[in-house]
Structure 1
Amino acid sequence: MLAKLLNNKDTMLVIVFSLVVLAAPLLLAPLGAGYPDLMQRFAIFGIFAIGFNILFGLTGYLSFGHAAFLGVGSYSAVWMFKLLSVNIVPAILLSVLISGLFALVIGYVSLKRSGIYFSILTLAFAQMSFNLAYSVLTPITNGETGLQLALDDPRVLDGASTEGVLPSPQLFGLEMNDTAQVPFLGMELQFNVGFYICALILIAAFFISLRIFRSSFGMMLRAVKSNQTRLNYTGINTKPYTLAAFVISGMYAGLAGGLMASMDPLAGAERMQWTASGEVVLMTIMGGAGSLLGPVLGAAIIKYFENIFSRINDNVIEAWFTFLPDWLGDILVTLISPFVGKGWHLSLGLIFMLVVIFLPGGLVEGAQRVSRWTVRSVKRLQHSEPGSSKSLEPGETH
């Protein structure tokens, strides 16, 4: 039974993915990214990108308004913290439910059009949602200040705070900011409760995405992407399939928004801006739209650049080249400094351009090319070794 499971490529993919995600504190510490807040962002935006990929990667429908569902999920979670309990389970469930209903309404209208018209409609809905949250619905969203916890919140299941301190989101007593620090090979590994909750949900989200990709439903979505007009001519109504994909994608975004609020109980309108929608598009395309691992990889790279490259300044760069002569070090600092720190977007933009031009399938395609090249090289070496079948003289046998 175990051998059968290990021979299944999808099973192996899920196992390897799970091990890598769970070992993130160890793998990311040498890269300077092993602290809880960034690891949580890796997992949360990985979920966001996986959901977006179900819509864009499978159906080809490009939404420029998916941040609206991220924001709705965040607001729903914070309201649950304020009214019911700071336990994250009800908050996440409400986030997914409300985002799914919101996506159903927006998708029903937007999917009446396709192509660029669909994209513009989703962008319009997202901008309307942003403006509603920012100014019109201030009793619900608290406007530009953002929605956050207060001491006088009812919290029916938890009761009033008697210590005069705002409670922290928790899962049955485990607070999201609880962190165990473990020394390891000169590094300080940080094992955070919030990250591991996000990591387990990321693994579950990845597994569900895998099942969708492999299902007949996923095959129908690929057919829509390939030639929706031909499907319509055969009498197949594609609207229910595309709407279902849109709703599922919106629920993933709402789940990510709920987790963001669970890690930091604050919801603001800025999460619904078009720039946030554009970011998830970049994540998916950079990693590889339509692939399983691509969106997660793209999300990790962009968040790494945003949080690590943006902190590199001239002093850090100078420390890299202290072993060089001063004049050469100054030249290198001058050349590199525009691409880090405040200029990290420039580096990210160049990488994105190179990926789009040379790797249309994203970084996953690049990894596949390297893998195929490695396999071919190994086979050539094996065949060229003395004693191999190709090196035998005519009439000789092993």
Structure 2
Amino acid sequence: MDATTLRNDLVYMAIFTVAVLTMPFWLDPFGANYPDLLQRFAIYGIFAIGFNILFGFTGYLSFGHAAFLGVGSYAAVWSFKLLSMNAIPAILFGTVAAGLFSVVIGYVCLRRAGIYFAILTLAFAQMSYNLAYSVLTPITNGETGLQLSLQDPRILDRVFGAPETGGLPFPVFLGYELNGYPGFYFCAVLLIVAFFVSLRISRSPFGMALRAIKSNQTRMGYTGFSTRPYTLASFVISGMYAGLAGALLAVTDPLAGAERMQWTASGEVVLMTILGGAGTLVGPIIGAGVIKYFENIFSAFHEARLHEVFAFLPDGLEDVLVTITRPFVGEGWHLTLGVIFMLIVIFLPGGLMEGVRRVRSAIGRSSSGHDPSGRSEEQAKLHPAE
């Protein structure tokens, strides 16, 4: 890696770190600065980063990544029940369990590519969901979901004399309960670490091999290059990211249910990645934030709230605008998200980050006629703007 690229990456990481840690402040004008939503921004950002390593870098579209999200959640809750309410063992347990599960699923599914791979991952995810919902009820507690109870052994806590809370305990780290803003900053730090790992993968020879596989896997095979270990490694890393996200869901809310393994959760991370920009680094995180914002903010708008928003207009015009916008908010937020997704796919096939690249290119041409990042044309092609 040359000095210019290294310097750009360090600046990029610094900007990303500051942006993540100051989210409660700059999201305040958008009404999205409350801790529960910020935690979801960070957690699903990690989920999307991991999925992007498989889909964006390698070109393999999985419709079953929610299975690893669910495995991570179940493993983390079992860690809380059996070992300790400390978040670190739960995160390690959830990430490793999802990684081991992804080795098995990836070994089978990666025997096929394209639509056949996507269907296989979807089938495994649905099998996992149905197993968690019925057959594995002693482990998953079925439709009720796996929860904490006062009778849980929590061996490490009892051995090391953890203080009794008098009720159901909450996950902790360094003595702080991980709810509210402490929970957000815990997730935010892990998001920064996950992003850094993704950045290093992207810049490494391993990342270049993944991009080459996406470009033309058949041609790489003809040269004698074995792509199977690389695709399996990409699948496992992606599954471990999903397991980490699932474990963090359990850390911020100690409950694991089979609904986290449904195909809709797998489809959601696909939308996040495409919406933000598959193959870029920060794009999937932006896509995750947009979808979670619509899910939590737009879904809260109702008719009375719309009247408050348009109260400054004359009564007749206010009623007209409320009537027009009402189907797109509240329970109709999916319609708004669908329209936005459709417009982006049509006009910005590379996602929101393609729009950012176009703006940067226009500014660069108008000012100096060069790439504003200072990269050569070859570097811009190998490492698209994140």
TM-score clears 0.5: yes
Tell me the distance in 2 between the aligned counterparts of 1:171 and 1:299: 26
- Counterpart-to-counterpart distance in 1, 2:317 and 2:83: 62
Q: Which moved more, 1:141-150 or 1:316-325?
A: 316-325
Following TM superposition, the consecutive aligned residue runs of length 4 or more in structure 1 with deviations greater than 4 angstroms are 4-7, 160-163
SS where residue 157 of structure 2 aligns? coil
- Residues 86-128 of structure 1, C-alpha deviation per residue, up to 9 Å, x if partnerless? 0000000011111000000000000000000000000000000
Helix, strand or coil for the counterpart of 1:158?
A: helix
Please tell me whether the aligned partners of residues 47 and 296 of structure 1 are also in contact (alpha carbons under 8 angstroms). Answer: yes
- 1:172 maps to 174
Cross-structure match for 2:376: none
Partner of 2:313: 324
- The letter of the residue matching 2:228 is K
Match of 2:288 among 290, 299, 309: 299
In 1, distance between residues paired with 2:203 and 2:4? 16
**Partner in structure 2 of residue 348 of structure 1:** 337
Q: Does 1:151 align with 2:150?
A: yes
Q: Classify 1:162/1:50 alpha carbon distance in 2 versus 1 (closer, same or farther; 3 Å).
A: closer
Determine the C-alpha separation between the residues in 2 that align with 1:333 and 1:163. 49
Aligned to 2:253: 264
Shift of 1:30: 1.4
1:357 paired to 2:346: yes
1:43 maps to 42
For residues 186-239 of structure 1, the C-alpha deviation after alignment (integer angstroms, 9 at most, x for no partner) is: xxxxxx101001000000000000000011001111111111111111111100
Residue 128 of structure 2 corresponds to 129
- Distance in 1 between residues matched to 2:19 and 2:202, nearest whole Å: 21
Aligned-residue offset at 1:161: 7.8
Distance 1:379 1:84 in 2: 60
Match of 1:201 in 2: 190
Measure, in 2, the Cα distance between the counterparts of 1:314 and 1:243: 50
Q: Distance in 1 between matches of 2:94 and 2:184?
A: 19
Q: How does 1:231-246 map to 2 (within 5 A)?
A: 231-246=220-235
Aligned residue pair count: 364
Q: Secondary structure at the match of 1:157?
A: helix
> 1:28-82 CA deviation, whole Å, 9 max, x = no partner?
1111110010000000000000000000001110000000000000000000000
Q: 1 CA distance for matches of 2:152 and 2:198?
A: 37
Quote the Cα distance in structure 2 between the aligned partners of 1:255 and 1:157: 22
1:153 is displaced (CA, Å) by: 0.2
Corresponding residue of 2:72:
73
What is the match of residue 298 of structure 2?
A: 309
The answer to whether the 8 A contact 1:5-1:12 is kept is no
Q: Which residue of 2 aligns with 1:391?
A: none
- Secondary structure of 1:292's counterpart equals coil
Q: Which residue is 2:207 aligned to?
A: 218
How high is the sequence identity, in percent, across the aligned residues?
68
The question of whether the paired residues in 2 share the 8 Å contact of 1:151 and 1:164 is answered with no
- Partner Cα distance (2:302, 2:253) in 1: 28
Q: Tell me the residue number matched to 2:82.
A: 83
Task: Give ranges in structure 1 of 5+ residues lacking alignment.
Answer: 180-191, 381-398
Structure 2: segments with no counterpart, 5+ residues:
370-386
What are the equivalent positions in structure 2 for 1:8-23 lying under 5 Å apart? Answer: 8-23=7-22
Partner of 1:288: 277
Q: Name the residue aligned to 1:184.
A: none
Spell out the pairing of 1:79-118 with structure 2 (5 A cutoff).
79-118=78-117
Larger Rg: 1
TM-score, normalising length: structure 1? 0.89
Does 155-164 or 304-313 show the bigger shift?
155-164
SS at match of 2:155: coil
Give the Cα–Cα distance (whole angstroms) in 2 for the partners of residues 323 and 205 of structure 1.
45
TM-score, normalization: structure 2? 0.92
Counterpart Cα distance in 2 of 1:260 and 1:374 = 40
Check conservation: 1:151, 1:161, Cα contact below 8 A.
no
Query: Shift in Å at residue 368 of structure 1?
Result: 1.3
Q: Aligned to 1:113, what secondary structure does the other structure show? A: coil
Equivalent residue letter for 1:114: A
Whole-angstrom CA distance in 2 between matches of 1:347 and 1:53? 24
Distance 1:347 1:378 in 2: 36
| Kept in 2: contact 1:6–1:12 (CA 8 A) | no
Distance (whole Å) between structure 2 residues aligned to residue 378 and residue 5 of structure 1 = 21
CA distance in 2, matches of 1:322, 1:29: 22
Do the aligned residues in 2 keep the contact of 1:5 with 1:11 (CA within 8 Å)?
no
Whole-Å separation in 2 of the counterparts to 1:115 and 1:75: 30
CA-CA distance at 1:164 after TM superposition: 3.8
